[in-house]
Amino acid sequence: MEITYNYYVLSLAMLLGFFGYGQNVHKGYGPPIPPMGKRWVMNPDFSDEFNGTALDTTKWLDHHPTWIGRKPGLFMASQVTVADGYLQLKGAHMGKDTLVNAYGKVDTFNIKGAAVVSKKKIQFGYYETRVKAAATTMSTTFWFSTVGNFKGPKDCDSYGLEWDIHESIGRKGDFDGQFFASGMHANAHFWYNDCEGKRHDFRAPQVRFEDERLTSEDFNVYGGWWKNESEASLYYNHRPPKHQRFYDKIKQQPFDQPMYMRLVSETYPYPWIALPNKEELADSTKNVVYYDWVRAYQLVPVNQYYANADLERELKLYQEGIYFNAANITLTYSPQLKIPMNYKANEKRLLVVELWNAQDKKLMESSMEVLPGFGHFQFDLYPKMNLKREENYRISVKLKSLTSNDPKVLDYNTIILNLE
């Protein structure tokens, strides 16, 4: 009866999306407001909903190409599956010790881990994943790193990069790193090889978000905005961001190389974190990491056509709308009024802007098409009539579909305009 009950609980949780009541329901997630004049668009090479029956081998490797795992956990392709709408990384005990000859030495492994690595590398952008950790001491991770070494500023030195958006385990225990079982933990490593051949792990200050819940209790969304060579911002369940400055004592702009995305379940060394026991590794309700999706976004000019713009429409990614950052705006009187606004659109839409006076009379109307994505721009309004200084006007904006002769209004917003 116990086995039947656990299977029923797991199946019901799968059906309901592990308390999320279905896939892709969290419309509130996604990238932060883009810089002025820019638009977030999805990058399909690093985005996957995992709704198929097998790993998409055009995007992903089912192993780590340059690392076999931290002993005694060995990365094995057999532990990577895609089913029920999730990428699943399953931990297991091998049953006996296995000798592996790698890196010029023989090591002993007895735990099966898993790794999925992007085939392409990327630099800058916003990345996020929705994931539920395994309820074991094996890791649940979402990170990026380079391969090989790059020439340092002294020519005789070299460096590599690693950016960990999130690392965690799924349960607590009698070990030093039990805090890793809850919240979010982000690190940035500048791996430096000095001219004497010594290797250094220079790190940015760790970014942490605290949470009372274990990471294995429910799905969480972990996000990171790699802004430039010097800094990033981190996001946990869409809380306000925390910011990270990369270590820059060796190079002023250290994170200057593209990196590969990595989704990994590995073992950690004791006494920092205890190894998983055989019982939890044999429990199918505990030993699997579930990645619901991983999504990547890149910045493009707000009015630039982007060839891979179908993802937003296919996923119905955004709750489409038009947004202002305040209830009113004060501008200096000019024949050209620049009205800042944001929009979210899953496909090409029509933006209609109306200018009304204090007597509720519409003075003018102007429109433009906007492209799929999350855009931030200034709408240029050219009133043909004389507007009065120190008088209030109303800007009304409608986001409309581009279908039929009577396009549907998808969203509506207003802002008060003060002229000086």
What are the tens digits of pLDDT across the range 335-380?
999 999 999 999 999 999 999 999 999 999 999 999 999 999 999 9
Residues recognised as catalytic:
162, 167
266/67 Cα distance (integer angstroms): 11
The tokens describing 232, both together, are 């990033």
- The sign of the dihedral angle between the CA atoms of 294, 127, 188, 145 is positive
Query: Cβ neighbours of residue 116 under 8 Å, at least 6 residues apart?
Result: 55, 60, 61, 62, 80, 87, 89, 262, 263, 264
Amino acid (one-letter) located at 356? W
What percentage of the chain reaches a pLDDT higher than 90? 89
- In a 3-state reduction of DSSP, which class is residue 92? strand
350 in Cβ contact with 402 (< 8 Å): yes
29/32 Cα distance (integer angstroms): 9
Residue 167 CA, distance from chain mean position = 14
349/345 Cα distance (integer angstroms): 7
The tokens describing 281, both together, are 């590794």
Average pLDDT over residues 198-221: 98
Residue 118 CA, distance from chain mean position = 14
DSSP conformational letter for 178:
G
Question: According to the per-residue pLDDT averaged within each range, which of 11-20, 137-146, 402-411 is highest?
Answer: 137-146
What are the tens digits of pLDDT across the range 96-129?
999 999 999 999 999 999 999 999 999 999 999 9
Bridge-based pairing state of the strands 80-83 and 86-90: antiparallel
The tokens describing 247, both together, are 């270590």
What is the CB neighbour count within 10 angstroms for residue 304?
11
With a cut of 50, say whether residue 22 has pLDDT above it.
Answer: no
148/64 Cα distance (integer angstroms): 14
Place of tokens 């009187």: 333
Rounded mean pLDDT of the chain?
A: 93
- In a 3-state reduction of DSSP, which class is residue 6? helix
337/380 Cα distance (integer angstroms): 6
What is the CB neighbour count within 10 angstroms for residue 366?
14
43 in Cβ contact with 300 (< 8 Å): no
178/175 Cα distance (integer angstroms): 6
pLDDT (0 to 100) of residue 44 = 97
Picking from 84, 83, 82, the residue whose alpha carbon sits closest to that of residue 15 is 84
pLDDT (0 to 100) of residue 390 = 83
Place of tokens 């890149």: 298
pTM of the model: 0.92
Residue 15 — very low, low, confident or very high, per pLDDT cuts 50/70/90? Answer: very low
With a cut of 70, say whether residue 289 has pLDDT above it.
Answer: yes
What are the tens digits of pLDDT across the range 248-269?
999 999 999 999 999 999 999 9
Amino acid (one-letter) located at 109? F
